[in-house]
């Protein structure tokens, strides 16, 4: 296939067919650079060579009643992770300062659990109000299943974005978890959208799904109109249901990122958890399809050393997208 031609058609408004979508995932490795060239044409059209940086603050670790098979914080996991209750407002603010100083544009406040308590929402709301005043960062909250009144409170406090990943296709969802439904996840994203919060929702690749499942989750996120789409690659943790799972290689991961760009051309595509392990030395190529990465550690696993990421962006000739206050401070 002529991937540059298809990319031009996508920019003009075409929705690629299932045949074309699967052709990306099934393409020969010798075609990889051509596939990535097409993805980059779309990425460059909408985002130029700018890269959005994100940082996670793990506000509560462990103690989760859910049974998600990929997660070390799950009630079913025996992984030896650090566990602690919801952190204080001051700790959240300290993390925001680190994010600002390290040129992070989006600060992600993440907490384990089925959903937040009233106290959790109050702490986040109070912290976000100060973060917006002091640092002008974009703030994303990821607190689990969300209620209407909680979404409204977070919006009023200044939360810009709410993350709740669909994770996998509707067909494959019950293999990953049974303690909540696919519809529960879709409903939380819709609640965030209803209250004017930008929706962030993505996928985890490598959980024994089929290639058709990968296409379906990319399309579901398009239909959901998620503004930001984190693409995670499974880092199978010992003690979880999926321990020992190793289905991915760097070339396939790049094809997945290209697929998500072709299906969601105008959206922020973020290379997320597992990129270091699964993309390896091909990490830089991922940014020819994606336009966003996490910097630093993830929830219970370590990320790449931050200076390596900054050097990677410099080597690529890409530009970090800064907030207005960061522009004033660093430029």
Q: Known binder of ligand: residue 71?
A: yes
Other Cβ atoms less than 10 A from the Cβ of 113: the count is 18
> Bridge partners of 163?
200
Q: Known binder of ligand: residue 108?
A: yes
Q: Known binder of ligand: residue 64?
A: yes
Q: How far apart are CA 76 and CA 237, in angstroms?
A: 12
Picking from 275, 324, 271, 266, the residue whose alpha carbon sits closest to that of residue 302 is: 275
Q: How far apart are CA 302 and CA 279, in angstroms?
A: 15
Handedness of CA 22, 287, 316, 305 (dihedral sign): negative
For 154: left if phi > 0, alpha if psi spans -120 to 50, otherwise beta; the answer is: alpha
Picking from 70, 78, 68, 76, the residue whose alpha carbon sits closest to that of residue 179 is: 68
Q: CA 149, 151, 155 angle in degrees (round to 5)?
A: 115
Q: Known binder of ligand: residue 142?
A: no
Q: What are phi and psi of 189, to 5 degrees?
A: -65, -40
Q: CA 252, 3, 22 angle in degrees (round to 5)?
A: 45
Handedness of CA 33, 34, 39, 44 (dihedral sign): positive
Q: Known binder of ligand: residue 68?
A: yes
Q: How far apart are CA 283 and CA 275, in angstroms?
A: 7
Q: How far apart are CA 98 and CA 182, in angstroms?
A: 35
DSSP state of 281: G
Q: How far apart are CA 145 and CA 114, in angstroms?
A: 6
Q: How far apart are CA 309 and CA 97, in angstroms?
A: 19
DSSP state of 102: T
Q: Known binder of ligand: residue 261?
A: no
Residue ranges of the annotated binding site for [4Fe-4S] cluster are 64, 68, 71
Residue ranges of the annotated binding site are 64, 68, 71, 108, 140, 200, 270
Residue ranges of the annotated binding site for [2Fe-2S] cluster are 108, 140, 200, 270
């Amino acid at each position: 296939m002529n991937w540059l031609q298809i990319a031009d058609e996508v920019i003009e408004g075409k929705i690629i067919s299932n045949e074309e979508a699967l052709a990306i995932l099934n393409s020969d490795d010798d075609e990889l650079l051509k596939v990535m060239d097409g993805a980059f044409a779309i990425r460059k059209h909408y985002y130029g060579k700018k890269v959005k940086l994100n940082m996670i603050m793990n506000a509560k670790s462990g103690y989760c009643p859910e049974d998600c098979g990929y997660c070390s914080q799950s009630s079913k996991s025996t992984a030896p992770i650090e566990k602690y209750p919801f952190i204080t407002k001051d700790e959240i603010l300290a993390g925001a300062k680190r994010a600002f100083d390290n040129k992070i544009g989006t600060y992600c406040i993440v907490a384990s659990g089925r959903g937040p308590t009233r106290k959790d929402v109050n702490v986040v709301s109070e912290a976000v109000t100060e973060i917006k005043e002091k640092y002008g960062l974009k703030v994303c909250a990821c607190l689990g299943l969300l209620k209407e009144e909680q979404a409204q409170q977070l919006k009023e406090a200044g939360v810009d974005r709410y993350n709740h990943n669909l994770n996998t296709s509707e067909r494959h969802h019950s293999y990953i978890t049974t303690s909540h439904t696919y519809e529960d996840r879709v409903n939380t994203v819709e609640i965030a959208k209803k209250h004017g919060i930008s929706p962030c929702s993505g996928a985890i690749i490598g959980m024994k799904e089929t290639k058709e499942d990968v296409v379906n989750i990319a399309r579901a996120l398009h239909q959901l109109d998620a503004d930001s789409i984190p693409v995670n690659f499974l880092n199978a943790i010992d003690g979880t249901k999926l321990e020992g799972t190793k289905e991915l290689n760097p070339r396939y991961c790049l094809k997945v990122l290209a697929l998500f760009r072709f299906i969601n051309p105008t959206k922020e595509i973020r290379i997320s958890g597992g990129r270091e392990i699964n993309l390896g030395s091909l990490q830089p190529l991922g940014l020819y399809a994606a336009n966003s990465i996490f910097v630093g550690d993830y929830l219970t696993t370590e990320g790449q050393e931050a200076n390596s990421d900054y050097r990677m962006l410099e080597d690529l000739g890409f530009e970090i997208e800064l907030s207005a206050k960061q522009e004033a401070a660093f430029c």
